[in-house]
Structure 1
Amino acid sequence: MTEHEDVRELLAAWAFGALDAAEAERVPPHLAGCESCAAEAARLRETVRLLDGPPIGGLPARPATGLPPALLARRPAAPRTAAHAAPYAAAVQGLRALLPEAEGRWATPVVHDWDVHATVAHLLAADEALAGRLGIPARVPATVLPQTVLPQDMRWEDAWNRRTADVIAHEHGRTPEETVAAWAGQADALLATPEARDAELAARAELLMGIRLPVADHFVVRAFEAWIHTDDIGRALGLVVPPPPAEHLGQLVRLAVRVLGLALGPDAAPVLFSVSGDEQWVLGSEDEPVAAELALDPVDFCLLVGGRCTPAEVPRGASGDAAAVRNVLETAASLAWL
């Protein structure tokens, strides 16, 4: 590898201040004499300007990913919403801030068999179910039956995958910019609904993705997925995507814990579960003594529930019954559908 190629590989980490001292010293002299790398460095520094900010209090570096300590995004002003929709509004703005970095790299593989373009198309399809329930017309023609009228014996995962594949196929016939505009327009429409601004209206329950939750919680689910896929795209492009702001991350964690508790059921061996020591829950039976204790970092817990790390990989603090701890971790991982 030439010196030019070697330094160019370092630019993203240099822009985020993630290089060691020896590597960092190599970059400025090269930029002084290389116009293309200097332009790339300026572009990356602009991304840092959008994403940079103070570390989230109490959140350590993520040892499972090897990324630098998490940064809090300085996003453009999000629409005014009620508290339940604020995480989704922030996640949408975070993805908007990142997508300019995909210019010229839309075909970069991201996750599953999706490239960047297809991942945005997937989010367009993923938001569609909630949007439809709130009276927002689909942005993509219904060339397959809408999810609400698919055969009753079809599993929701199959309907979800079928619609995603259809939307991705449709969007690959359009430009990435058109897909981004369709996704962003639908997201804006969701955030403009009365349910996004009124907690009382958002209290009604809707069955989406196989689970009946208040509309307010479905907004949190949308935030969870938007952030996970923003992180996917960032990793694919070699950029660090910060986790949600602390208050939003707490909402994601609390909803995931509730769903995990339902999945474990009342007969599982009870485990005292905590996330960075801030909150604790007893998962499993309420009639037996606690069999084990388990502590996870909030970002790691979300990545586990989101299918981005395995029970074996996720850093944890654990004591007591190893089988009970394993049951919690494996059940959390089984919730992944993103």
Structure 2
Amino acid sequence: MKAYDENDGNGENGEEDDGTGAAAGSGTGSAGAGVGGGGGVPGAPGAARIPLPRASVEDGGRTLPEVAAVALEHQVLTSLLGAWALAACSAQEAAAVEEHLGECDACAEEALRLREAVTLLQRPESLDLDPALRTRVLDGCLERRPPRIPVPRWAAPYDAETARLDALLQDFGDAEWHAPVRLRWFEADSEASRRTTVAGVIAHLLTVDGTVAVSLGLADPLGDITTPSRAPAARTEAYWRASHRPPTRAVRAPWRAQSHGIVRTASFTGETGGMPVPYGDFELPLRDAMLDRAFECWVHAEDIADAVDYPYAPPSARHLNSMIDLAARLLPGALAARRRAGLAAPGGRPHLVTAGEPGRSLRLEIEGSGGGEWLIPLDSPGAVGSADHEVAHVALDGVEFCRLAAGHVPPAEAAAGQVGDREAIRDVLFAAAGLSRM
């Protein structure tokens, strides 16, 4: 027994349905049976028929019906301009207003003014998710069910920054992947740069992150490619030269897989993160290397976002503070290296002390997100910063300081509040820019 019309919407005599539910030429009898005949046996003559769903005009190939403008007086049309600007008129009223605007200059000018006012009232909202949303969701999940093997606190910034960059990349087309990017850094107190593409930047991150991966016992992304040293620039240049063609979107998958592997493996090392990671002519403990990689991931994500004209927010305050702290801890060694190279002044009143003792210091005050204060020893990396031996005070915004440390802001142009020994301040600002590299 069937509960539908076996003629599939056609008339009972094979005539086509005209879209109104009754067969053409069948009169009203069939329709009447369907509406008021209830109680018939399904499938029997005269039984009630279940109508097929109607198709919208927009879904078919037929053209939309034209909306005829209604005849309205000038005063009524003028009163409708506000509703028309807000798209609140009916189709007939909108057609009448638009026809009138082609004939009345005064109303056309008023309509234009109202439309411009509406655009000011309707502020466009960003479709991007709140950068802090991921952290809040993860914190909420972990409160309910702590992980069996948690990600160490020092690895969390790298985990977050690689995830943010991957989210930026996921919708890129070929044009975006080949958009030109200029990598910038400071070298011997002068600006240096290298031209590449978005895909080339991801290849750079892949190869330099590979130094951490190799230290953790993971595969080296360079494979059989030989390099003169483990320095980041040497590894990157070797990878670029060995590529048969410029990197494409295909580089995203191995970079993301490697970042997942680094975080996963680092989680098994425990909370100390003291394993050394060599960078060629220097090395960092694993916990600092992970912060260094998080910092570079954010900096190059901004480079990519600038290349495709897309906004990109700084890291969360907690992670930004950890990155600034790493740079502050590296500054004494950078100052000593500059002094050995003859680039830094020895100081007008050096206060030479043995390692572990207080010495001449600069107070580095970081304002805004991720801010804090650090006392930077000036005369020896082994000395301890001391407020009693403070000779200068520098205040900088947190993001501005990070861009200085990334080589994106010239030291002479750093917007800093400066008090005290000018030579010491200059040396610290140039040492901060000298922390950058390709």
- For the criterion TM > 0.5, the same-fold answer is yes
Q: Greater helix share, 1 or 2? A: 1
Candidates 240, 251, 256, aligned match of 1:179: 251
Q: How does 1:275-294 map to 2 (within 5 A)?
A: 275-276=366-367, 278-285=372-379, 289-294=389-394
RMSD over aligned Cα atoms:
3.1
**Shift in Å at residue 224 of structure 1?**
0.8
Structure 1 unaligned segments of length 5 or more: list them: 1-21, 30-40, 54-71
Residue in structure 1 matched with residue 165 of structure 2 by the alignment: 95
Candidates 310, 314, 325, aligned match of 1:254: 325
User: Is structure 2 residue 265 aligned with structure 1 residue 193?
Assistant: yes
Secondary structure of the 1:271 match is strand
Q: Deviations over 1:108-150 (max 9, x none)?
A: 11122111010111111110111011111123432224xxxx4
Structure 2 unaligned segments of length 5 or more: list them: 1-112, 139-146, 183-193, 340-345, 348-359, 380-384
Residue in structure 2 matched with residue 32 of structure 1 by the alignment: none
User: Is structure 2 residue 185 aligned with structure 1 residue 85?
Assistant: no
Larger C-alpha radius of gyration, 1 or 2? 2
Residue in structure 1 matched with residue 363 of structure 2 by the alignment: 272
Q: Letter of the aligned partner of 2:279 in structure 1? A: L
TM-score (norm 1): 0.71
User: Is structure 2 residue 240 aligned with structure 1 residue 168?
Assistant: yes
Hey, what's the Cα distance between the residues in 2 that align with 1:216 and 1:325?
A: 29
Hey, what's the Cα distance between the residues in 2 that align with 1:305 and 1:196?
A: 31
Distance 1:311 1:86, change over 3 A: same
**Shift in Å at residue 94 of structure 1?**
0.8
Aligned residues of 1:85 and 1:196 also touching (Cα < 8 A) = no
Residue in structure 1 matched with residue 432 of structure 2 by the alignment: 332
**Shift in Å at residue 177 of structure 1?**
2.9
Distance 1:172 1:107, change over 3 A: farther
Q: Deviations over 1:273-326 (max 9, x none)?
A: 111162232331458832211011111111111111111222111111222111
Secondary structure of the 2:314 match is coil
Hey, what's the Cα distance between the residues in 1 that align with 2:432 and 2:198?
A: 27
Hey, what's the Cα distance between the residues in 2 that align with 1:175 and 1:271?
A: 44
Secondary structure of the 1:242 match is coil
Distance 1:194 1:312, change over 3 A: closer
Q: Letter of the aligned partner of 1:274 in structure 2? A: E
Worse overlay, 88-97 or 188-197: 188-197
Hey, what's the Cα distance between the residues in 1 that align with 2:437 and 2:269?
A: 28
Aligned residues of 1:85 and 1:197 also touching (Cα < 8 A) = no
Distance 1:175 1:309, change over 3 A: closer
Secondary structure of the 1:168 match is helix
Hey, what's the Cα distance between the residues in 2 that align with 1:25 and 1:114?
A: 41
Secondary structure of the 1:296 match is strand
Q: How does 1:111-190 map to 2 (within 5 A)?
A: 111=182, 112-145=194-227, 150=228, 159-170=231-242, 173=245, 176-190=248-262
Distance 1:247 1:178, change over 3 A: same
Hey, what's the Cα distance between the residues in 1 that align with 2:330 and 2:118?
A: 47
Residue in structure 2 matched with residue 212 of structure 1 by the alignment: 283
User: Is structure 2 residue 308 aligned with structure 1 residue 237?
Assistant: yes
Q: For this pair of structures, how many residues does the alignment match?
A: 271
Q: Letter of the aligned partner of 2:220 in structure 1? A: A
Secondary structure of the 2:176 match is coil
Hey, what's the Cα distance between the residues in 2 that align with 1:128 and 1:274?
A: 34
Aligned residues of 2:363 and 2:373 also touching (Cα < 8 A) = no
Secondary structure of the 1:291 match is strand
Hey, what's the Cα distance between the residues in 2 that align with 1:164 and 1:140?
A: 9
Distance 1:93 1:197, change over 3 A: farther
Distance 1:262 1:27, change over 3 A: farther
